[in-house]
Structure 1
Amino acid sequence: MNLDRTEHEEAPRASSGLDMAIAVVTRLGGGLSALLLLVVLCITTLGVFNRYVLGRPLLGVDEASGFLVVAVVMFGAAEALRRGDHIRIDILFDRAGPRGRWWLELWSQIAILVFTGLLLKAAWHTVTFSRQFEAYSTGYLEVPLWIPQSTMVIGAGLLILAALGALLRHLRERP
């Protein structure tokens, strides 16, 4: 876990126009993530109520919840990264000096960018494939698959923005 910040410390302050723009975009993603989490809670509660109290289950609740949970994670990941609330293992980081920490953080941000770039490429390929072949979900909802899959593209784009902002901020803080 990231131990650099105390419990009451805020997210990194925006120091440039680009930082502020990234902060606004990732906060919107985080807000949408929180809203979708409430939607998942509501439809799950409604589904449970209908199934066990009314005896008439709502079809497609599980499928919709699954799609929405992916959207929650993808939209919220960038804001978590920007705020430093992501999970990481600090075994090496804690043992390194200031210069070593700087290099480890640089490597970390580059690794996030590479991984997220690959995720974006794979997600884009998946969405275009699903659109080309007009693939639909196999559950009760029968949603065109490119619609829920596009949350991966949007989330990867947000995550790239957050990682790029963190990398640029980090490069300005040379030890």
Structure 2
Amino acid sequence: MRGVLKGIEYVQKTIVYLLAILIALLAIIVFYEVIARYGFRSPTIWTNEISSYILQFIVFFSMGYLLIEDEHLKVTFFLDKLKGKANKVLRIINVILVIPYAAILLIYGWNITASSFERGSVSPTLLSVPLWIPYSFICIGGGLLILAGIGNVLKIITEPNDATVKEAKLID
């Protein structure tokens, strides 16, 4: 079980490195557009579209990493009040409730991607980007979120009890 969890974490962390590169690229593209538009009064035709696709990639591909690292926005009122097994059970239920949402992203993302591919849909701009490419981000993001949900459940199940963790922190 540890091997599966390590594999899932490795996939998610590798994607995060790619996302960091894309965030830097996004900043460069937007900076370039600002300079071109306001400095030289010569706006580009491609930066808005490419920036949108990069941002879409970042949003959908980061969901799994955020879940596996337990960094999603959440209300922890009840979770903070519970200890031991009750805390673990509630955390597992919370993660399991994400999986149907992720499955919807996967299924409907796949449907729109396949439909766009079959019709040969392209963006209505001069770039004419095949729309199945950005639509596939939805599907892949849903799959990564399901993978992260499974990994997070495994992580919660295999983690030591609260008492053991507190004792380990005292020793450190």
TM range (shorter): 0.7 to 0.9
Q: 2:120 aligns with which of 131, 134, 145?
A: 134
Check if 1:52 corresponds to 2:38.
Answer: yes
The alpha carbon displacement at 1:45 in A equals 0.7
The alpha carbon displacement at 1:109 in A equals 1.1
1:1-175 equivalences under 5 Å are 16-173=2-159
Q: Structure 2 counterpart of 1:111, which letter?
A: L
The alpha carbon displacement at 1:63 in A equals 1.5
User: C-alpha deviations, 1:54-77, integer Å up to 9, x for none?
Assistant: 111000211111111010112222
CA separation in 1, counterparts of 2:11 and 2:83?
33
The alpha carbon displacement at 1:173 in A equals 4.8
Q: Structure 2 counterpart of 1:28, which letter?
A: T
Question: 2:104–2:142: 8 Å Cα contact kept in structure 1?
Answer: no
How many residue pairs are counted as aligned between the two chains?
Answer: 161
User: C-alpha deviations, 1:10-55, integer Å up to 9, x for none?
Assistant: xxxxx71111111110011111111111111111111111111111
What is the percentage of aligned positions where both structures have the same residue? 27
The alpha carbon displacement at 1:168 in A equals 2.0
CA separation in 2, counterparts of 1:171 and 1:99?
10
The alpha carbon displacement at 1:96 in A equals 2.9
Q: Structure 2 counterpart of 1:27, which letter?
A: K
Unaligned runs of 5+ in 1: 1-14
Q: Structure 2 counterpart of 1:116, which letter?
A: A
More helix by share: 2
Secondary structure of 2:72's aligned partner:
coil
RMSD: 1.7
